[in-house]
Amino acid sequence: MGKLPVPFLPFVFSTLFTLIIPSAGGLSFNFTGFSPGDPNITYKGDASSSSGVIQLTKNQRDADMNSSSGRATYSKPMQLWDKASGNLADFTTNFTFSIDSQNASTYGDGLAFFLGPEQLPSVVLGGESLGLFRTNESLNTTDNQFVAVEFDIFPNDFDPPGEHVGIDINSMKSVNNITWECDIEGGKTTAASISYNSSTNNLSVSFTGYINNTTETQFLSHIVSLRDILPERVSFGFSASTGSSYAIHTLRSWDFSSSLEIDGNATNLLDPATASPPNNGTRRNRKKNRTGLAVGLGVGGGAIVVGAAMVGFVFMFMCRHEEDEEGGHVLEEYMDDEFERGTGPKKFSYQELARATKNFKDEEKLGEGGFGGVYKGFLKEIDSFVAVKRVSRGSKQGIKEYAAEVSMVHWVWELYGEGKLIEAVDPRLCGEFNKTQMERLMIVGLSCAHPDEHLRPSMRQSLHVLNFDAPLPILPSKMPVPSYFAPPISASSLSIMSYGSADSRGGMNDSSSYVYNTNSSHITTSSSASSASAMLVHTG
C-alpha cells in the first residue's frame, strides 16, 4: 500500500474529531492589580478599588471601620457543570491578600473566596457571616447555597479557637479547618491557591503562614461533589466583614482558570417541573419535529458510520505502514517530531553529551540499566546537572523501550484525567486488589513522574500520602509539557512540619490538612512549569 500524502492524516483526524469531540468551555483571567471602574469586577457593600488593590471592607482612618461588609465578584458567571452531559469543571485560582489590624491585638473578622448562585443575597452587616449572608443564617444549611474557603481571624461560638482557614459548605461551621499561622498585626501578605479536581472531587487549598519570620506553606483539602451543592452557573469572588473588632481586608492580585467539557451535540433536556405546557402551535409542529428528528438521526447515524469507516481505514494504514517499516522509522519520525515541536526531550549532540559527562568516564557512571549505562553530567547551556542514558549500539530495543516508558506515563496520565485510572491496573491481578490503595499508589507514581522536578514529592511526602496521613496531590488533568529551564524554587527544600487528618479510616480521607516549612512565600501549584533536568538519550 502506498503512502498517503502527509496532510491527509491530520485532515482525517480533524474531520472525525469535529464530528464527535465535545467542545471545551472555560474561563480564564489574570489581575495583577485592580483599576477603579473595571467592568470585569462587580463591587457590593463597602468593597471598592483604590491604589491598584481591592478594599473589601472600609479603609478610612477618619471613619468607623466596625460593622463593615463587602464583596468583589467577577462580572461573568462561571459554568461549573453541564446538565446535558453531567460533566463538572476543573478550576484553579491563585490570589494574594493581606488582613491588617494595624498593630492592634484584637481584630476581626476575615475574608473568604466563595462560589454561590448567580443571584447572591444582599450584603448586610455582621462580622461572623464574612459578607456572605445575613448574620442569623450563618449555620442555616437549608437556605444557604455556597462553597467557600474562609480565612477567619475571629473565633465565633461555632469556630475553632484562634485564626484558622476552613472549607465551608452552606454553613460558616467548616467541614474541615486548620490553624492559620498568620501575622495579622503586621499585615503580612498571604499567597493562596485553590484547586478543584472534578475527577476526584478534591477541593484543595494551599496558603502561606509565618512562624518566627519563617514562611511556611499550609495545606487543606476536602472531598466534595460541587455538582450536588451548587447550580450549573455560579457567581464567584471574595467577601469580607468586620464586627465589633476590625481589620483592613485587601485583595492584591487574582488569577483564575477553569475548564469544562461541554457536549455540543447533546440536546438540552428540559426539567419537567419547569417545562411549559405545549400550545396549539407546538402541536402543529410535532409532525415537522418528528420528520426533523428522523432526518437528524439519519444524518447523525450516517456520520457515525462514515467516522467509524475512517477510523478503520486510518488504523489499517497505520498497521500496514508499521509492518512495512518494521516499526523503526515510525518511532524515529515520532521522536524527531517531538524534538521539533519542543514537546518531548531536548535534543543534544553527541559532542555536547560527551563533554557534559567527561566523555562518559566510569567515575561519572550512576548505574547500569537494561539497555545501557546512566551517567552524571553538567550542561552549561541550562546550568544544570543531568542524567544521560547511553544506549549501546548492540541494543536494538533501547530507543523503543525508552519511548515506551514515556508513552506509558502519558497513557496513565490520560486515564487519570478521564477518571479511569483503575483501567491501568495489570489485568493479570484479576481484580484482587484494594481499589482505593491502588489509585492512591498510581497517583503518587504520576506525581513522582511529573515533568517538572520541582513539583515532585520527596520520599517522605510520598510515604505520608501512601499511608493515608496526607491528602492526594492535585495533578492537572493532562500531563504537563516539559520544558528545560529552572524555576526559582525547589520543592525539595520543603519538609513536613506537621499534618492532620479528619478521617483515620483505611479509605481515602474526605478532609485533610498539613503544613510544609519553606523559606519562600511561593506557592507550588500543579502547572506545566519547567524542569531543569531530564533523561537525555543518545546512541553510541
**Average pLDDT, integer, range 267-285:** 41
Q: Look at residue 64 in the predicted model and tell me its pLDDT.
A: 65
Cα Rg of the chain (Å, integer): 28
Poorest-pLDDT segment among 151-160, 167-176, 293-302, 455-464: 293-302
Give the architecture-level CATH label for domain 346-539: 2-Layer Sandwich (3.30)
pLDDT value of residue 2: 45
What pLDDT, on the 0 to 100 scale, is given for residue 395? 58
Mean pLDDT value across residues 133-153? 74
Whole-number pLDDT of residue 255: 94
Please state the rounded mean pLDDT for residues 428-437: 85
Predicted local distance difference test score (pLDDT) of residue 394: 61
What integer is the mean pLDDT of 352-371?
83
What percentage of the chain reaches a pLDDT higher than 90? Answer: 24
Instruction: Report yes or no: 538 and 348 within 8 Å, Cβ to Cβ.
Output: yes
Q: Residue 12 pLDDT more than 50?
A: no
| Amino acid 94: pLDDT | 94
User: Domain 23-262 has what CATH class?
Assistant: mainly beta
pLDDT of residue 248: 92
User: What's the pLDDT score for residue 476?
Assistant: 81
**What is the maximum span of the chain, computed from C-alpha positions, in angstroms?**
89
Grid coordinates representing 526 are 500543579
Q: With 0-12 CB in 10 A as exposed, 13-18 as middle and 19+ as buried, what is 146?
A: buried
- Mean residue pLDDT across the chain: 72
- Return the higher-pLDDT residue of 197 and 19: 197
177 or 66: which carries more pLDDT confidence? 177
389 is an annotated ligand-binding site residue: yes
The residue with greater pLDDT, 284 or 41, is 41
- Is the pLDDT higher at 29 or at 264? 29
Mean pLDDT of 2-25: 42
Per-residue pLDDT, averaged over 195-212, amounts to: 91
Q: Where in the chain is the domain with CATH 3.30.200.20?
A: 346-539
Question: Is pLDDT larger for residue 113 or for residue 306?
Answer: 113
User: Mean pLDDT lowest for which of 174-178, 205-209, 242-246?
Assistant: 242-246
The better pLDDT of the pair 162, 17 is held by 162
Identify the three-state secondary structure at position 71: strand
Position 61 pLDDT exceeds 80: no
Angstrom distance (rounded) from CA 452 to CA 16: 33
Higher-confidence residue of 365 and 141: namely 365
Q: Per-residue pLDDT tens for 389-431?
A: 777 666 555 555 566 666 788 888 888 888 888 888 888 888 8
For 444-503, the pLDDT digits (tens) are 888 888 877 767 888 878 887 888 777 777 788 778 765 444 333 333 333 333 333 333
More confident residue, 403 or 312: 403
pLDDT at 212: 82
Q: What is the pLDDT of residue 204?
A: 94
What is the residue-wise DSSP string for 393-440?
TT-SSHHHHHHHHHHHHHHHHHHHHTT-GGGGS-GGGTT-S-HHHHHH
- Burial of 298 (C-beta count, 10 Å sphere; 0-12/13-18/19+): exposed
C-beta of residue 192 within 8 angstroms of C-beta of residue 94: yes
- Per-residue pLDDT band at 291 (split at 50, 70, 90): very low
| pLDDT for position 509 | 45
Residue 388 · residue 372 · CB < 8 Å: no
Every domain range in the chain assigned CATH 2.60.120.200? 23-262
* Nearest Cα to Cα of residue 221 among 508, 439, 26: 508
pLDDT digits (tens, 9 = 90+) for 238-269: 999 887 788 999 999 999 999 987 655 554 43
Range of lowest pLDDT (144-153, 169-178, 365-374):
365-374
What are 462's three cell numbers? 510520598
Amino acid at the residue 515: V
